[in-house]
Amino acid sequence: MKTLFFIIVLLNIAYVFTEECANSAFFQCGGNNWKGSTCCKPEPVGYASLNGGTTGGKGGKVVIVSNQSELNSALKSSDPIIIGVKGIIKLSKDISINKKSNFSIIGIDNNSGFTGGGFFIKSASNIIIQNIKFSYCLGSSKDCLGFRRSTNIWVDHCEFYNDLDHGKDYYDGLVDFTYSSDFITVSWTYLHHHSKATLVGHSDSNGSGDSGKLHITYHHNYFKNIVSRLPSLRFGTGHIYNNVYENIEYSCVNSRMGAQVLVEGNVFRNANHPIVTNYESVEEGYAVERNNDFGNNYGSNSITRVGSLYSVPYKYSMDNVNNVYNQVTRNVGPM
């Protein structure tokens, strides 16, 4: 029976990465309650769709892993690979991935992923992380997912959380993109119970490396019970649409060091400082805001410089802001 189960899993994962149009619960069409098109291609919307697109391990070997040793072995492959994760794997240390391209890490059910440590990925490209839970990330980096000098990244239908029982530096980021990473989409993901959630651009002093890079899209994500960095974006270009922010203690979208952000169609509930451009850096950022639902917190925006990012170089569909809260909160995370 177990053999039959694994054969079915392998066939299902291979199917969604080889068919032109795959009906899968955790691709762009949303989750279990989705009522729209049943034709959902395994392709990102947003900046990860540019620069040749992001396909991960499409066409490569499919390997199922259920422990850290199996994961490490699978990641040694130099060929495209799709790694299916079975169950929650406790990591004894961070997984370090360097100069590796064309891989996908996908949970095979709604309770698969990693705890205890995270992933430190650098100088890599064409990466998909999908349907995965990350929690209590206390490896050497203290990030759940940390990318450096990496391009074409799609994080989709994942869940990230730690806790708010410690100081803000006990953990670091949930999912961070630094050192000139580029062409990134984070979609349909649930981030909660954490202090510093998602950092884009690591410091004020790296303008020479980061300027012209760090193009990132956040869409249909649910940020709940978080202190700040949703995202915090330096130097780069961010399109932030149709997300839900709930119970945010300090700030949500923070545009810094000349970054340009387009923030549209988002819902903010009990979320302090939804959009700011003059927090925490020596230089202000820029923001364009349109059609957001701020609840009672509209007056706490601090948009000191209006930006020039009024359009983006890819196709996307905006959902009616009145429908965003229910659609997002019901459909984010692993399926």
Active site residues: 229
In which element (H, E) is residue 81 found?
strand 81-85
User: Cα separations (Å) of 183 from 18, 39, 212?
Assistant: 23, 24, 11
CA distance 260 to 154: 21
At 326, list the tokens: 């229910």
How far are the Cα atoms of 100, 118, 176, 300 from residue 146, in angstroms, in the given order?
14, 8, 5, 30
Angle at CA of residue 201, ends 84 and 106, nearest 5°: 5
**Could you write out the DSSP letters of every residue in 15-48?**
HHHHSSSB--TTSTT-STT--S-S-B-S---SGG
